[in-house]
Every structure is written in C-alpha cells, then in structure tokens.
Amino acid sequence: MAHDQRPSGCPFHESRPAEQALQESEARTRAILETAVDAIITIDEHGIIDSVNPAAVRLFGYTTEEVVGRNVKMLMPSPYREEHDEYLSNYVTTGRKKIIGIGREVVGLRKDGSTFPMHLAVSELWLGPRRMFTGITRDITPLRSAMQRLQDSEARNRAILETAVDAIITIDEHGTIESVNPSAERLFGYPSADMVGRNVKMLMPSPYREEHDGYLHNYVTTGRKKIIGIGREVVGLRKDGTTFPMDLAVSEVRLEGRRLFTGIVRDVSERKAAEERLHYYAQELQERNAELLRSNQELDDFAYIASHDLKEPLRGIHNYATFLLEDYAARLDEEGRGKLHTLTYLTQRMDAFIDSLLEFSRVGRLDLAIQETDLDRVLADVVDSLRIGLDERGVEVRIPRPLPTIRCDRVRVGEIFRNLVTNAMKYNDKPEKWVEVGFDDGGGPVVLYVRDNGIGIREKHQDAIFRIFKRLHARDKYGGGTGAGLTIVKKIVERHGGRIWVESTPDVGTTFRFTLAPDR
C-alpha cells in the first residue's frame, strides 16, 4: 500500500488522512490504466469482466458498458471460448497454472468478428476476499507479420544458397568456416560437416594456405583489401588432393556485431583450359603464318634469282639462232630455216615467261607504296595507254561514275586495271564490245569491278585462271599472253589485304570484282 511505504517524518504527508492517500493512489492507478498502451482487463474468478481500460476498448471494439459484467469468453473465438470456463475453474480448484504469471500467445476476437493474435499475461490478485485476475494483452499482428517477412526472406536466402551453382562459403574473422552450400560440398568433395568449424585454409594448396592467416589478420587490423569486393583468380584444393583454378569474390558481412566474410567460388578449369587451347592455337597459327611468309619470301627470291640467271643463257640461244638465220640461211633448206624460225619464236616466248615470273616475284618482294590514290586518274591513264588497242578492236569503255580516292599502291593498282581491261578487250568476239569499270561501296571496303560482254569463262575454269601460266585458249586466237596476268593481279590484291573473285557466264560476259583492304 502506498501510504505504508511513504517516508516517515515527511512534513507534507504526516497530517494527511488515510482516506485522502487512498484516493490519490486510486487516481494514480486509474491514470496508468487510462494511458497504458496495452489492453488491461480485470475479471473475477467466474470470468466476469470487472473493468477494461481504453486500450482494451480500442483493441476489441466494444464500449466499456458492452463488456463489463459479461463473461470474458466473449473476447475469444472458438475453441478457446469453450475451453475457458473449465480452464478457470480448474485453476481455482487445483491451483494448476496454465497462463497465470507465464504469458503466452492466444487469439482475440473483436466485436466485428475479426480475430487477431495477441500476447496475454495474466496475474492474480486479491481484493480483500475476492480473487481477481488481470490480463494484459497486446495485438501482435505487426510483430507476427514482421516475423513472417523475416522467415520468408530467410527461406528465400536459404533457397538461393541451396540452389546456387556457385560454391558459397562463409567464414568468421579467424578464417573458421561457418557455413557452406551444396555446391561447395560438390566442388571441394567434402560433406558440409567436414568443413564447418575448420579453417578455410583446408581448401587452399600451398603457398596460399600459409599466406591466408597473415592476409586475414592484416585485413582485420589494417583494413587493407586484397580480395574483398574485388574478386580474383586463385587456386582451390579438393579433398582428393587435386587443385583447380577458381574465381573468388569475397564480401564482408556484419551480423549481430560480428564480422563475417562470404566467398563465392566458381571453378574455372574449363574456361582456363579453353583459354589455353585458344592461346596454343593462336601461337601455332602465328608460327605457321610466319613460316608461310618465310617460304613465300624464299620462293619469290628463288623465282627472282632463277629468272635472272635463266635470262642470260636464253639470250645466248636467241643470239645464236638469229646469227644462224642471218648468216647461214643460204646453206639451210626450207625445213631447216622453218625450224630456226620456230626456235627464235620459242626463245622469245621463253623470255616473255621469264619476264612474267620476274614481275610476279617482284610484286611479292617489294614493299607497297601505300598512299591516297585517286583511282579515277589511275584508270584514265590506263585507258589512255590502251587507247590504240581499244580503238582497233572497237571496244567501248564505260565508266558510269568517277572512281573514289582510296589508300593503295598507285602503280600496282594501275597494273591491276591494265591487266583486267586488256583481258576484257582481248577475250571478246562480239560485234559491239564494251568494258565497264565501276565500284560498289556498301559498308565494307570499296568493291571495284571490271565487267565485259565477252566470251565468258566456264565455271569449272574459274579457279584455274588465277594460276600462273594458266591459259584457256590456243595462243593465237585472242592474242598471245603468258597466262601470268591474273596471277599477278591476285598477288597485288592480296598484298593489299583484299580479295578478288570472278562471276562469269559463257558467251554473255565476265565480271572481275576485287577489294584493296581487308574485310571488316
């Protein structure tokens, strides 16, 4: 009782009557009840409600008048409602407590029929001879839903961990493994129980294993990061002793004041192996290429030297044949003279072949002089130089639009045009002959073309024409060539990094197309 505990000798209270003190104490209790956040309900030992505070009125939706004097069961849904009487009388007769002084979660029923989870703490008190019970209850719906959300998110996180393809390992700041997911078990070959509680070093081969403690300690004390938040490639050690390259990403987590590290590990053996294979092939390719270039160069050198050396004895043969024809013609009969003529003709042919070979090897040996080149000018010069032949054969040259300016070797590209236009002019037996030179520029490098309405080339010969000395016709029919022209053209095109190809229909005409830069 408040007045029993009041300090003795207090000048303000001493003279106060006991009645007044009691009133004050009651007022205080009422104030507490009125302002309490929790609902407070007092019942007697039959369950009849004696009083409710405003929080209880708010919580259950009844007015004070609607509940006082009625059984507290009205605030409970079935089956609690039915159990309550029995429960109360049980307690009153046997003294066995089920709620009193304990507190537990039960279900409340509002006036509008809705129910809600509530926490209930009951205490027993005696008011003189009357035994009363006070229930303090609180709606725990918000708490419940917060817990539910927490549980859901925990379940979600667990599901992610369980199903993650990557191995996920959590360690504390001493390196002790706290948890591993199934992928980690599969990757390292240990069951979870053999990893949890042990130092994560067990999953690393030397020298990483030895470095790890120092590294972790360093980070924890200095905050200097080496892996955290960065991710890098390290080496993992399986239970069976084998090692494998792995990508490791570590992040730091603070959990209830503790500092944890989560490592996400991915086995990159396959990727590494593929990378190594790729690297090997790239190197192989590079070596082969270098070899090819070398042997190409050697071949060009060889052709050049051989042609050079061949020319001198050939000149001797030619000179002697001419000498015989001039000074010994009278001593030979008709047949002998005929054979000598053939001999000089053949030496001239041989000379022309050797010149072609020299030219071919020169194209391979000399560096290109790449510069901005107005192809229109180059073509105009070529057409000028071929003017007599074109006019003689009655070939019309068509240039639908001026050719562009591009970077290339001006002189060599002139040779390309000369060869292609000459062929277009030669290999044509139509009464009205024409050759058209133009270009297409759709995206990639400019594609130039030389088209004619000539005899065409059968499909089965379309590859062969680019081989050196390959000719499809008897030498006299369309004028004598050595069959090296297209081979040289192809070599010039390829030295520019370009391509050349042919489209042709026999008796209709032929189109040669080429580029002077690599395809993008």
Binding interface with ligand ADP (CB under 6 A) = 419, 423-424, 427, 452, 454-457, 465, 470-473, 481-487, 510
State which residue, 73 or 412, has the beta carbon closest to ligand ADP. Answer: 412
CB 473 to ligand ADP: min, Å:
5
CB 472 to ligand ADP: min, Å:
3
State which residue, 99 or 352, has the beta carbon closest to ligand ADP. Answer: 352
State which residue, 300 or 415, has the beta carbon closest to ligand ADP. Answer: 415
Rounded Cα–Cα distance for residues 56 and 86 (Å): 24
Q: Give just the sign of the alpha carbon dihedral 286, 290, 293, 296.
A: negative
* 243-255/500-505 β-pairing: unpaired
CB 376 to ligand ADP: min, Å:
22
CB 393 to ligand ADP: min, Å:
13
* Two tokens, residue 1: 């009782």
State which residue, 44 or 436, has the beta carbon closest to ligand ADP. Answer: 436
CB 426 to ligand ADP: min, Å:
6
State which residue, 110 or 471, has the beta carbon closest to ligand ADP. Answer: 471
State which residue, 231 or 456, has the beta carbon closest to ligand ADP. Answer: 456
State which residue, 167 or 390, has the beta carbon closest to ligand ADP. Answer: 390
CB 314 to ligand ADP: min, Å:
20
CB 398 to ligand ADP: min, Å:
15
Which residue spans within 202-314 are E strands per DSSP?
Answer: 232-237, 243-255, 258-267
Rounded Cα–Cα distance for residues 393 and 428 (Å): 9
- 110-113's contacts with Cβ under 8 Å and 24+ in sequence apart are 110/59, 110/60, 110/61, 111/60, 111/61, 111/62, 111/66, 112/61
State which residue, 50 or 494, has the beta carbon closest to ligand ADP. Answer: 494
Rounded Cα–Cα distance for residues 31 and 136 (Å): 16
* Two tokens, residue 249: 């990403």
CB 513 to ligand ADP: min, Å:
12
Residue type, 364: G
CB atoms within 10 A of CB 155: 10
State which residue, 409 or 452, has the beta carbon closest to ligand ADP. Answer: 452
Q: Phi and psi at residue 68, in whole multiples of 5°?
A: -60, 135
State which residue, 166 or 359, has the beta carbon closest to ligand ADP. Answer: 359
Residue type, 362: R
Alpha helices in 394-516 (DSSP H): 410-426, 485-495
Q: Return the residue nearest ligand ADP (CB atom).
A: 481
- Which 3 state secondary structure label does DSSP give 161? helix
CB 287 to ligand ADP: min, Å:
33
Helices (H) and strands (E) in the chain, counts: 15, 17
141 CB-near residues (< 8 Å, 6+ apart): 116, 117
In the block, residue with structure tokens 């270009």: 439
CB 416 to ligand ADP: min, Å:
11
Distance between terminal CA atoms of the chain? 99
* Two tokens, residue 435: 């050759």
State which residue, 43 or 465, has the beta carbon closest to ligand ADP. Answer: 465
408 CB-near residues (< 8 Å, 6+ apart): 368, 370, 371, 373, 375, 496, 516
Measured in whole angstroms, how far is the alpha carbon of residue 359 from the centre of its chain?
A: 50
In the sheet that holds 177-180, the strands lie side by side as: 177-180, 167-172, 258-267, 243-255, 232-237
21 CB-near residues (< 8 Å, 6+ apart): 2, 3, 6, 13
> Omega of the bond prior to 245 within 30 degrees of 0, cis?
no
Residue type, 432: E
CB 424 to ligand ADP: min, Å:
5
